[in-house]
Structure 1
Amino acid sequence: MKKLNYIFLFCFSLLFTNCQDFIDNAPDDTLTMEMVFNDKTRMEDWLSGVYNKIPDPYWGLMKDYGYDLLGDDLDPSQRWEQFWGDGALKYRTGQWYTNSSWSGDLWAGAPIRIRSAYQFIENAHALPNQGVTESDIEMMKNECRFLIAYYYWLMIEAYGSVPFFDGLANVNDDNLMRGQEPFDSMVDWIDTQLVDLSKKLPESWLNKSTQFYGRATSIMCLAVRARMLLFAASPLVNGNEWYKGFKNYDGRERFAQSYDANKWKRAATACKELIDAAHAAGHDLIREYNADGSIDPFMSCYNVFFLRGDLNKEALFCRADCGFTDYENHSTPRGASGNGGLGITQTLVDAFYMKDGSIPISSYKGNYGTPNINTESGYTERGFSAQKDIRKTKYNLYRGCPNATVDSVGADGCTYNQVAAAGTYNMYVNREPRFYLTVMWNRQWYHQADRETQFMSNEPDGGPTHDAPQSGYLNRKKVSLEQKSRDGIHPYRPGILYRLGEAYLNYAEALNECDPGNPDILKYLNLIRERAGVPQYGTGTDSNGFKMITLNGQDEVRQAIYRERRVELCCEDGIRYFDLRRWKKAEDVLDQPMYGMNFSGTKLSDDPNDQNAYFKRTQYLVRKYERKYYWWPVHQTEVDKDPTIVQAPFWNEE
């Protein structure tokens, strides 16, 4: 009889939420593998534990993994550092060392789940008397195989190169110290696994029960594969000269030393296979419509995150439980019983298009405090609006506002709502719909508190406290209009880790690199823009009646794709941070002073010469990003105890 050391298993159980009760009640040294896998409930609890390392795309990717705040979208108050301790808030300012702690803990945490998955594969068997068939067991083993491949992808995405086991290792085997596997070798292994599993796992579990929602599917396999192969084709790991001569313990190059254009073709093929399979399974972009049959871009983009998981056609890979309550509380103004310091950056505010699709800011003069404004767009950073900004939408930011035009029905039968009041700082008017789903600015109506936000210094929602937006903006993305922190109301929604909108943009990017001019590039890019209510690319008039925007050549298309990813996928799952890394742009973008509105301002003024004016670009934080930060360092204790582990590039340099 195989026996598990009780203390060893108990350490696992601390991480396995659903396994806790039966582990706690087991006497020392009596719980055996046979006892676990001869019991349906215990066996299912074990499988549940294997799933437990899937990241939480709300508070988990913010506070624990740090990916969301390491980019330049979401901007938590730096003063939270006193409560968060070591972690990504310190990393933003260059306090990042080989002995820094990381709550994401993939180096140690993911292998625990991988080993547990291999144990399940080796020990699980049918239990006919308890209603568990051979087919059920085969399916659960395939789920474990998916999770093994997925966790290895999360590890190499962070570290670049990790120790690899393709089966259950003997803990007494000296071969446990085997060094790291090269990045491309791991990609190939994971790719093979995911392709095979995409033919064995169901495309959906919803025909059985919503209780199965979140379990591995064929679509999840293809989604992980497509994102991975896009990363693998990108400049960071596709012939990057930075890593020339950098080798693992066994002398193999960690990263490919020569550029391979075929990697982009491989990525494009994987993205298209995902899209085709997702469409065949009934997935599509979320679209909501006005009374005249036109797309309501506000409600369409909003509902991507709030439709219940079993009704959300755009969601490809979800975590059923996630920390949206903490996320929403920290996106709620302090004076409305929130922890109001989860802001967004000025550069994200700058990135959104104007209503007509034009770009408001073309570049910066040296730093983010001095933008080069595209005057033809109508954008200005001076003055305040004379009129209300009214749009055709059911999206209602100004409910309860006594001065708003709310839920008015036009002659066309469509609902019209106000998105910005008269007197709004001109930076925030005439912007595209996604802007209003993301940005909460000073003096915007906040219907949950029946008042305007008050972000100036010593006002109810402002500083100098840590629970105030240091950039002058609070986050709205993925925050429900129905939430009310004061009353503990936070409507449920699943945590989306992969969605079809991203797959379209991934495909467009990969295809532009391997087959520029292919009509699918603009086709899928325009599907995103059509849904978002901004002019599409091409010639003539688009489906929304806008004059289309012409793009000339591969580089203009590339930049258009980069801009679209910036606004469509902002504040989602650390995608922006991974984009900056894989494009080799993180040093240029993140090693910068960060600007926002004047956190210390006490006047509703835009006078750039008045130190008390709130509405002016003001530096609030200096970000630091060095070349070594592109890869997570292996914690020094791991390097010290295993001579076959080679530290990530540049971390050993003075």
Structure 2
Amino acid sequence: MNPADIAGNQVSRNSVDEVVAFISSECDAAAAGLPLSYSETPEELGRITKGAALALKARTLLYAASPLFNGNPLYANVKNSDGKALFNTTYDKEKWKKAADAAKAVIDLGVYKLYSPSPENPVNNYAQLFYTREYNETILPYTFGDNNTFESNYLPNGQPYKGNGKMSVTQEMVDAYETATGYPITDPASGYTTAGSWNGQMWDGLKQANVTNISNMYKNRDPRFYASIFFQYSVWRTAVITRPVKLAWFGANGGNLSDGWPKNGTNCESGYNWRKWCSPNVDRNANTGNAARNYPIIRLAEMYLNYAEAMNEYLAAPDASVYAAINTVRKRVSMPDLPIITTDAGKDGMRKRIQNERRVEFAFENHRFWDVRRWLIAKTVDNGPVHGLNARPTQAELESTGLPTTSEAAGVAVFYKVVILQNRVFKDNHYLMPIPQSEIDRDPNLVQNYGW
């Protein structure tokens, strides 16, 4: 290659603000030429719409307004060789207003609505979104053929369920779900307790089913909890699978009767499995049925919560529009309206509420990874021990119960102890990924991100 051609391709980095402006302008230009929907040409469903382009713009502007990119002094010295600063270290409140306006523009299109197929059943009302091919709430879907891959991967790995239990859920995630009162479990008014157990009914994916000996840890929680997580003695398709989920240690030969961690080739370590995404229309025992689902890359609930977050940050204190946006999402699962506790009336308190609402509403949808980074809280929440339940007790623990050590009762007796699963490390340089050295070798004008 001619050296002059090489030099022409060696460009310097644009600033974050320039990149955001470019993405926004491209989304606007695309939106201008795209249809609102493909309702008249159903064979085109899944293609990019006006709403998808505007929703991508809204997400971009929200990220740009967030602390990672808006006034973050950490990146003050990340500059091109000519001295051009790539990160604006001056906080600009108006970026939040732009993000709020962009989210509201999507909402105001009037072509999307929260999916609500079973409003009388808040657990099912939420759960169906994730195993149904729907285009009412989903703004930007990833479409793929009917399949039972999710069920194969995520259902518990015990014999009746015939999944692989590949995803663990941390205790921190479980604890993020409020009780049905709307109070966080750390608030005495929530009614939360870890003592004792209860009997009653629980949605098994197809109908209400009787359950027994459920820990009070899981009593009266946000309906999204029951739609999203398998826990000890929860139930699934009880017309066929007649016993509950058993994630506690149980059985000889490494706990071989447990539905949890002990199975070779599986990954459940925490005493919790994913339930979200699993379709009750799939029968793994009979090896029949498929789910016709989309993966919602962007959905309307995000636009409501984007608007709530952006306006809360823009205003001195949350106003009626902030509460209305977040409560629209909460109403789908019959959760009480905010404000509830005194701190909900202030910016800081409402920020915590909105951040937690995103955590539970978008659980296992690939939002949390990016949210904790753009909020600059990853060094707090992803740095240190993460926890689960005692699904793999020691022999000494089992013996201390005085029960047969291979019995279900012995495993359950020591199961509800919270234990450390991992010790994670998150440093300041982890907020942004490094530019690969191979790219810098090709283009020496590219400056490396902070700390790499």
Work out whether residues 132 and 292 of structure 2, in 8 Å CA contact, stay in contact via their aligned partners in 1: no
- Cα 1:559–1:460 change in 2 (3 A) is closer
Partners of 1:381 and 1:182 lie apart in 2 by 50
Deviations 1:555-607 (A, max 9, x none): 222222112111111111x2111110011000100011111111213899999
- Cα 1:481–1:178 change in 2 (3 A) is same
Deviations 1:337-370 (A, max 9, x none): 3221212111111011112212112xxxxxxxxx
Partners of 2:300 and 2:389 lie apart in 1 by 34
Equivalent residue for 2:115?
Answer: 286
- Cα 1:650–1:529 change in 2 (3 A) is same
Partners of 2:216 and 2:320 lie apart in 1 by 37
Work out whether residues 512 and 557 of structure 1, in 8 Å CA contact, stay in contact via their aligned partners in 2: yes
Q: Does 1:345 align with 2:170?
A: yes
Q: Does 1:314 align with 2:137?
A: yes
Deviations 1:501-544 (A, max 9, x none): 11000001101111234321111111111111111025xxxxxx
Larger Rg: 1
Partners of 1:204 and 1:397 lie apart in 2 by 35
**Counterpart pick for 2:194 among 366, 377, 381:** 381
Work out whether residues 145 and 292 of structure 2, in 8 Å CA contact, stay in contact via their aligned partners in 1: no
Q: Does 1:511 align with 2:311?
A: yes
Q: Secondary structure at the match of 2:356?
A: helix
Q: Does 1:328 align with 2:151?
A: yes
TM-score of the pair, normalised by structure 2? 0.87
- Cα 1:502–1:591 change in 2 (3 A) is same
Partners of 1:484 and 1:301 lie apart in 2 by 21
Q: Secondary structure at the match of 2:387?
A: strand
Work out whether residues 353 and 431 of structure 1, in 8 Å CA contact, stay in contact via their aligned partners in 2: yes
Matches within 5 A, 1:204-223: 204-208=37-41, 210-223=42-55
Work out whether residues 124 and 205 of structure 2, in 8 Å CA contact, stay in contact via their aligned partners in 1: no
Q: Does 1:259 align with 2:91?
A: yes
Matches within 5 A, 1:63-462: 172=5, 174-208=7-41, 210-277=42-109, 279=110, 282-289=111-118, 295-309=120-134, 312-321=135-144, 325-335=148-158, 336-361=161-186, 374-385=187-198, 387-389=199-201, 396-397=203-204, 417-418=208-209, 421-447=211-237, 449-457=241-249, 458=255, 459-462=257-260
- How far apart are residue 186 of structure 1 and its match? 0.7
Equivalent residue for 2:405?
Answer: none
Partners of 1:352 and 1:190 lie apart in 2 by 35
Tell me the amino acid that sits aligned with residue 570 of structure 1: A
Tell me the amino acid that sits aligned with residue 196 of structure 1: A
Work out whether residues 353 and 432 of structure 1, in 8 Å CA contact, stay in contact via their aligned partners in 2: yes
- How far apart are residue 204 of structure 1 and its match? 1.3
Tell me the amino acid that sits aligned with residue 345 of structure 2: N
Equivalent residue for 1:76?
Answer: none
Tell me the amino acid that sits aligned with residue 354 of structure 2: I
Work out whether residues 169 and 272 of structure 2, in 8 Å CA contact, stay in contact via their aligned partners in 1: yes
Q: Secondary structure at the match of 1:594?
A: strand
Report the number of matched residues.
424
Q: Does 1:527 align with 2:317?
A: no
Deviations 1:295-352 (A, max 9, x none): 432222122223323xx31110011127974433221122233221212111111011
Work out whether residues 213 and 233 of structure 2, in 8 Å CA contact, stay in contact via their aligned partners in 1: no
Partners of 2:236 and 2:48 lie apart in 1 by 39
- Cα 1:398–1:289 change in 2 (3 A) is closer
- How far apart are residue 224 of structure 1 and its match? 0.2
Partners of 2:241 and 2:197 lie apart in 1 by 24
Equivalent residue for 2:280?
Answer: 481
- Cα 1:286–1:596 change in 2 (3 A) is same
- How far apart are residue 249 of structure 1 and its match? 4.1
- Cα 1:342–1:324 change in 2 (3 A) is farther
Runs of at least 5 residues in structure 1 that lack an aligned partner in the other structure: 1-170, 362-373, 391-395, 400-406, 408-416, 539-547
- Cα 1:300–1:446 change in 2 (3 A) is closer
Tell me the amino acid that sits aligned with residue 472 of structure 1: G
Work out whether residues 593 and 621 of structure 1, in 8 Å CA contact, stay in contact via their aligned partners in 2: yes
Partners of 2:434 and 2:449 lie apart in 1 by 5
Equivalent residue for 1:592?
Answer: 384
**Superposition RMSD in Å:** 2.6
Q: Does 1:501 align with 2:332?
A: no
Deviations 1:597-650 (A, max 9, x none): 11213899999xx99711110111111211111112122222233212222210
- Cα 1:299–1:452 change in 2 (3 A) is closer
Deviations 1:129-173 (A, max 9, x none): xxxxxxxxxxxxxxxxxxxxxxxxxxxxxxxxxxxxxxxxxx956
- Cα 1:322–1:636 change in 2 (3 A) is farther
